[in-house]
Structure 1
């Protein structure tokens, strides 16, 4: 299978070499890897350039954007800058973060899963972070959600869901839309990926505001947004989380922001999010 990988990178000099080396050492080599250096102020560009000289399938794209590190639009815009440089001869398209270390059989195992199940649209391993000298599964999301850090899509699934949404929440809506189009999703517990930088470590306080705006655009509705905002605020012991979710939602509503899914898809999304929430609180 032809794996194409796009890696958005913003000031990742401390990690990018380890990520690229783990990809270059795969038992199944990717056909193409594009690192999108998104306005980095450190040595990210120099490090990636060294890899491009050593490995023919790795290339670098430099772009300019805002220097603020935020999830959502900035990351996906960078992804597309890399994706646009690729041809269409891919079987699987991956969006990976620049601070991961993959086991050497990672891509080979993904290929096996895709080949074994024709209805499999997305597959990944789990992210692990180092805590007290041991690697433990990152708990920021549930065990059934593929992290935005290591997305891998079968080509037709990627096209069916309309590719990636340029907004906060893109890595939730992609899975729900995949299910809407009858694709299966798999997380392989045996694939342990080392995540060198905790998720959201450098995100600004604006991230929760954007999350609220995204909930409006994903057609969650106010009640579901209110409940999820409350749940996350309690979980984080931070009332500001709830406040920013609601302010973000109301801002998008006031500005009549355009949803990025249809009404029919929105109904399905709400049903799935209610199911997910009920499962969370029943654990």
Structure 2
């Protein structure tokens, strides 16, 4: 199976070399890697160009977006700038962050999983962050969810869900829609990926209401939004975020923001969310 990788980057000079080194050292090599320079003002491009001189399957494209690290739209728009340069002769398409160190067998293991199970639409490992000289599981990790930092899709699944939504919550919507289209999702706990920059570290205050807006756009409804808001705020150890999330939800509802899923998909998503919550309780 052929694997293509797109890596959006913005001022990642501290990490991008480590990420690329881990990918060019895989036991099963990717066929293509596209790094998307999104308005970087540091040495990110120069570092990537050094890799391009050594590896002919790596390329670099440029885009200019907001300097703010706004979650959702910025990174997916950058992803599509890279994706547009690729042909469609792939079996697996990956959207990876530029601050990860992958184990050497990462691509081999996820490819094996796709080969073994034809119903598998998405697969990924777990993110670990460094604390006191030790690598520990990042607290936002959920065993049923693949982090947005390391998404890998079977081509047919990626096409079924119509790709990635350029909005906050894209990395939840993709999994919900995959299940709507009868694809399964698998997390590989043994694949421990080092996450060098913990999630959300560079988000600006402008993003404070985005999560609540995302819950609205996914047609969660109030009660699922409330439960999801409390859970996420507690995981981030910032209970006050519940207020921001709910404020964002009601702002989106008042302004009648565009939904990211259809009514039928929304009903499926709500039923699926309630089902999983009941399973965890009982």
Normalising by structure 1, we get a TM-score of 0.95
Aligned counterpart, 1:22 = 22
Which stretches in structure 2 are left out of the alignment for 5+ residues?
none
- Report the alpha carbon displacement of residue 233 of structure 1 after superposing the two structures with TM: 3.6
- Cα distance in structure 1, aligned partners of 2:135 and 2:228: 29
Shift of 1:272: 2.1
Distance 1:237 1:100, change over 3 A: closer
Cα distance between partner residues in 1 of 2:41 and 2:277: 40
Q: Is residue 140–residue 236 contact of structure 2 (8 Å, CA) maintained in 1? A: no
Structure 2 partner of 1:110? 110
Written as runs of structure 1 = structure 2, the 5 A alignment for 1:218-237 is: 218-237=218-237
Report the count of equivalent residues: 282
Query: Residues 237 and 50 of structure 1: is their aligned pair in 2 closer, same or farther, counting only changes over 3 Å?
Result: closer
Q: How far does the alpha carbon of each residue in 1:170-195 deviate from its partner, in whole angstroms, 9 at most, with x for none? A: 10111111111111111112111111
In 2, Cα distance between the equivalents of 1:43 and 1:95? 22
2:132 is aligned with 1:132: yes
Task: Summarize the alignment of residues 228-247 of structure 1 with structure 2, pairs less than 5 Å apart.
Answer: 228-247=228-247
Sort the Cα spacing of 1:15 and 1:216 in 2 relative to 1 into closer, same or farther, 3 A: same
Q: Secondary structure at the match of 2:209?
A: helix
Q: Which moved more, 1:17-26 or 1:254-263?
A: 254-263
Cα offset, 1:148, TM superposition: 0.3
CA shift for structure 1 position 239: 4.7
How far the C-alpha of 1:200 sits from its partner, in A, is 1.0
- Report the Cα distance in structure 1 between the residues aligned to 2:40 and 2:131, rounded to whole angstroms: 28
State how far apart, in whole Å, the 2-side matches of 1:184 and 1:278 are: 20
3-state SS of the aligned residue for 2:197? coil
Q: 1:235 deviation in Å? A: 4.7
Provide TM-score, normalisation by structure 2.
Answer: 0.95
2:56 match: 56
For residues 231 and 198 of structure 1, the distance between their equivalents in structure 2, rounded to whole angstroms, comes to 18
RMSD: 1.6
1:67 is aligned to 67
- For 1:178 and 1:227, the matched residues in 2 are separated by 23
Aligned CA distance change for structure 1 residues 207 and 276 (closer, same or farther; 3 Å): farther
